[in-house]
Amino acid sequence: MKTIFFVRLATLLFVVWALPSPALTSEEILNPIADRLRCTSQDFSNQLGPVRDQQSRGTCWAYAVSDLITQALGIRPPEQISSYDVAIQAYLGETGKIRDLAAKFGPQTILSKNVAFDSTRGKWAREIQERSRLKAYGDLIGQNGEMGMAEAIYSYNFVNGVCFERQLRSTPDGSQLQGGNAVPDIEAALKRNQKLLESCSCNRATDNFLKDLAIIQNELLKKLTEDHCNPRTAQKSPLIPKQVRFDLQGGDPIREIDDAFAKNRSIALSVDAQKLFYSGASGEHAIVVVGRTWSETNSSCEYKIRNSWGTRCKGEVLGAKCLDDGTFIVNADKIRSMTIESVWIPPAF
């Protein structure tokens, strides 16, 4: 009996060995194992407070930046940095100081496609200030666009302390502010100025008008923050962002997420809106990666994304699993296919 058993076993093993099968490379064998080991479960959602709603504003970048700053400064919910204050300070930013700080801490950094930077000579193009200001201005009045997230973080270093969401709310509902309709009033003023700007035709008159308009807008915005962001809370250390433009520099956004998560940091991504939304939106959109976990069902690492559309998600986000709190889940392939840029704030130490 034993002899028959071993003969049959040997025959079976020979048949299995002889069957044709696709050869697996060492990379194919090891990659899934490496992915599983790398995908440690992390979730920073409880460090950022509830998801906010940008509504018609183009300031998705300011919501993402305020989330990064909130976490980097160790501020805990229910406190959040006001994204509206981030947008205003980017508009009022002292460009020379931003340039000097970037040159000191990241001379090879490529800041946003909205800014021209000659890395070979270490000089910034003259239009940096005007283009950055106009971009932030357009976002404040509800136009679409992508102000550079890294620039906004650099800019916030030169504000005399931070402003919280409870002081200057990032919603169009000005009734939530002490003093009434401050946010709607400032947006209405900016829109009126935009219409006046479009009516100017003579070059000299336009130049003079732009100078006067800049003064008026600056005064309005400064008054808004002075009235509502008072007192500001001092920040302990400068915020030095790490930025990668994958469309210009190459690289893998998943590796950047890994690096940020290894330092217990969320990471903001600027993504191709057409690859993220059903609506046919164009341009870029800023989101924040706040978590990841391994899916046994799909045998892949899945990433938790924080948006700035309130709790809206179902029927709007392509290829995502929507959660009830305004976040959604996507896989690594989705992130790689849509990501243009990443920005995060490494710890100062």
Stretch among 51-55, 85-89, 183-187, 313-317 having the lowest mean pLDDT: 183-187
Provide the total of helices (H) and of strands (E) in the chain, helices listed first: 12, 10
Report the pLDDT value the prediction gives residue 19, as an integer from 0 to 100.
42
Is 240's pLDDT higher than 90?
A: no
Report phi then psi at 202, rounded to 5.
-70, 135
Q: How far is CA 133 from the centre of its chain?
A: 19
d(CA 147, CA 88): 12
Measured CA to CA in angstroms, residue 82 lies from 25, 54, 67, 147, 162 at distances of 51, 12, 9, 16, 8
Could you give the C-alpha distances from 197 to 190, 205, 271, in angstroms and in order? 10, 11, 31
- CA nearest neighbour of 140 among 179, 88, 81: 88
Calpha distance 256→283 (Å, rounded):
22
**Which tokens belong to 135?**
């971009």
Least confident span in 26-30, 54-58, 124-128: 124-128
Q: Which residue has the higher pLDDT, 349 or 80?
A: 80
* Per-residue confidence (pLDDT) for residue 195, from 0 to 100: 66
pLDDT at res. 235? 80
Q: Tokens 């006046």 sit at which residue?
A: 196
- pLDDT bin (cut points 50, 70, 90) of residue 157 is confident
Q: Is the pLDDT of residue 176 over 90?
A: no
Whole-number pLDDT of residue 252: 94
Give me the long-range contacts of 235-239 (CB less than 8 A, separation at least 24): 235/73, 235/161, 235/162, 236/73, 237/348, 238/101, 238/157, 238/348, 239/69, 239/72, 239/73, 239/153, 239/154, 239/156, 239/157, 239/345
pTM for the full model?
A: 0.72
In the block, tokens 């997420």 appear at 257
Judge whether residue 248 has pLDDT over 60: yes
Q: Residue for token digits 């003023």? A: 189
Q: End-to-end CA distance of the chain: give it in Å, rounded.
A: 72
Quick one: pLDDT at residue 184? Answer: 56
H or E segment to which residue 81 belongs: none
- Looking at domain 42-344, its CATH architecture is Alpha-Beta Complex (3.90)
> Which three-class secondary structure state does DSSP give residue 32?
helix
Does the pLDDT of residue 81 top 80, yes or no?
yes
Q: What is the DSSP pairing of strand 267-272 with strand 242-245?
A: unpaired
More confident residue, 45 or 15: 45
Indicate the average pLDDT of the chain: 72
DSSP-based three-state secondary structure for 183: helix
Mean pLDDT of the region 9-15:
45
d(CA 148, CA 129): 12
The pLDDT of residue 255: 94
Distance from C-alpha of 45 to C-alpha of 247, rounded to nearest angstrom: 28
Strands 117-118 and 42-43: unpaired
The predicted model gives 247-265 an average pLDDT of 93
**320 pLDDT tier (thresholds 50, 70, 90):** confident
Q: What is the per-residue DSSP string for 188-242?
A: HHHHHHHHHHHH--SHHHHHHHHHHHHHHHHHHHHHHHHHHS-SPBPPSS----E
Rounded to whole angstroms, how far apart are CA atoms 241 and 251? Answer: 17
Contacts of 294 (CB under 8 A, 6+ apart): 36, 39, 41, 300, 301, 302
Question: Do residues 92 and 101 lie in contact, with contact meaning Cβ atoms separated by under 8 Å?
Answer: no
